[in-house]
Amino acid sequence: MKNQSNAKMYITIGIILMLVVGFIAYKNVTKIQNYKENGKEIECTVVSVIQGRKGKQSVEAAYYDEAGNLITADVIRNQKTYVGEEFIGMVVPENPEEIYCMPSESTQKIVYCVFGIFGLIGVILIICGVVSAVKHRKVYY
């Protein structure tokens, strides 16, 4: 009976892992695609950096929009920064209060490889669960 519950556990964990990884990968890809297609490059200056736990930074930057208004926005920087640093970011019209800096191609490849590995682990868990269930099932005639 224990093997049956292990099989169910493997299959359940595999499915959950694949769903979570798939959802995160989908959101990541759609966000990058949205900024590539609809984003506009802007020159920004970092106005505040708040150091969080484990080195995470909350960054705000200021930029001028097309009308010449100064806008302060949260930044997704993908690297360490400091107050006063100038950089090129991207803004989409539907969310001008968020500046996004594209990760490098190598970083994107690493992230996609990690997503692929976790997806593969999910598939392997499902296969192990199915094999375990088939091996240890009781035959009733």
Per-residue pLDDT reduced to its tens digit, 95-110: 889 999 888 888 889 9
Terminal CA-CA length for the chain: 19
pLDDT digits (tens, 9 = 90+) for 25-75: 999 889 889 988 998 999 999 998 888 787 788 889 999 988 888 989 999
Question: Does pTM top 0.75 for this prediction?
Answer: no
